[in-house]
Amino acid sequence: MALRLNAADADFDTAFDAYVNRDRDGGADVSNVVREVMAKVRADGLEAVRAYTTKFDQFELTDENLRVRAEEIDRAESDCDPDELEALDFAAERIQAYHEKQLPEDLRYTDDQGVILGWRWTCVDAAGLYVPGGRAAYPSSVLMNAIPAKVAGVKRLAMASPAPKGEMNPLVLAAAKRAGIDEIYRIGGAQAVAALAYGAGPIAPVDVIVGPGNAWVAEAKRQVFGTVGIDSVAGPSEILVVADGKNDPQWIAADLLSQAEHDPSSQSILITDDAAFADKVAVAVDEQLVQSQRREIAEAAWKNNSAIIVVASLNDAPVLIDSIAPEHLELAVDHPEPILKKVRHAGAIFLGRYTPEAVGDYVAGPDHVLPTARAARYASGLSVLDFMKRTSIIGCDAAVLKKIGPQAARLADAEGLPSHAKSVRVRLK
C-alpha cells in the first residue's frame, strides 16, 4: 500500500517533508565503482570497455560487432511490425515539428554608446546519445534524444545502448535510422559514458552526452561533466496526478502505474480533495497490479515510494507540487489553468482529463527526457538548446573605445590587473 497522507492531520507538514526528502535509491553509493570504471576506460580505452561488456552484458565485444552495421539496421527495420514503424514515423514528425520551434535566434544591435553587441548560437560538433536497454528497450528515447540534436544542426551523433548477449531491439535500430543515426555502439553502463566522453578505440570523443539511464549511468554523467556537457543527472521516473472525484478511478490508477512500471525506484503520487475517491483509486491500483505484466516492478514502486495525499481543496495543491517538483504533472480537472498558473516547478505538465502522461512519452512532441529527483526546481527537459551554445559578440571602433575604455581601465586598476588596463590605454593614446 502506498503511503497515505492527509493535509488535515497535525503532523502532516513533518510527514510530507520526510516523504519528499527521503532517498529512493536505497542509499546505494555507486560513485566509487563508477569512478573506477571511468578511470579504467580512460586509461585502457576499448580493452576496458570490452572487459566490462563481457562482465555486465554477457557477450564478447569485438572489432566486428562493436558498431552496428548498416545492413543490420536495414534488416532490423524489415523485421519490425509495419504498424509500429508507422507509429515511429508519426512520433518523429511531431517531435521534429515541436523542437524546430525551439530554435533560438541570433541578435546584433548597436547601443547608445555605439558599441556593437549581440550573440549568436552554434551547435556542438558531436553528441553522444545514451539509450537505455536494460529492463526495457525504448525506441521512443532514440527519437527524443536524436531529433533535437539534428534540429540543432549537430553533424555527428554517436549512440550507445546496452545489448545484453549482443542483441539489440529491432525497433530501437529502426528508430535510429529514422533519426539519422548511423554510428551505433553495442555498449552500455558507465563504460559507455566513459567511451563517449574520453574516446575508446574507434569511438571518438563527443562534446555533449544526453539521455537517461540507471544509477551507474547517471553517476557516470555526473563524473564526466566538465570534460563534456550533459543534459542532466537523471533519476528514477516520477508522476504526480492532481485529480478530483469526477475522474474515473481506473484512469487515474493507470496513470499512476504508467510510471511505477518503469523501475522499482519510480514514484507515483496522487493529490486529491476527495478521500472517497482516493480509496477507489487505491483499490483500482491493486486491481491493475494483479493484471500487470510488470507487476513485480510496479508493485515495489507503488508500495515503497508512492503516496496518496488528501487535501481540503485543490487550491492547496500548487504549494505541495512545487515542493515535490515532479518530473511529470497531470492536472486531471475540468479547468486546469488556475492550478497551472500557480505551479512553478515541474518537468512537463499535462492538462485535463484526456491528457495522460503517456502521450508525452511518445507522440505529443515535447521531449520526454525530463528533470527528476526535484531537479525541476532549476532544470528543464531536453531541448534543442542542450546541443547549442551562445557566443557573445562585442565590437568597438576608436571613437567608441574612447567613450567606454577609461572606465574599463579604472576597474582593471582596481582589481590589480595592470595588463588588462594597459591593453585599453595603449589604444586610447
Q: Cα separation of 192 and 195, whole Å?
A: 5
Residue 58: DSSP 8-state: -
Cell triple for 140: 521512443
The amino acid sitting at 336 is P
Sole residue written with cell 509500429:
84
Q: Cα separation of 8 and 4, whole Å?
A: 12
Catalytic member of 183, 261, 327, 330: 327
262 is catalytic: no
Rg (CA), the chain: 25
Cα dihedral 53→33→145→383 (10° resolution)? -170
Residue 68: DSSP 8-state: P
328 is catalytic: yes
Q: Cα separation of 300 and 81, whole Å?
A: 32
- Pick from 210, 205, 160, 162: nearest CA to 181: 160
Find out whether 200 and 41 touch, Cβ atoms under 8 Å: yes
Q: Cα separation of 204 and 238, whole Å?
A: 34
Catalytic member of 99, 262, 328, 368: 328
Find out whether 194 and 46 touch, Cβ atoms under 8 Å: no
Annotated catalytic residues are 327-328
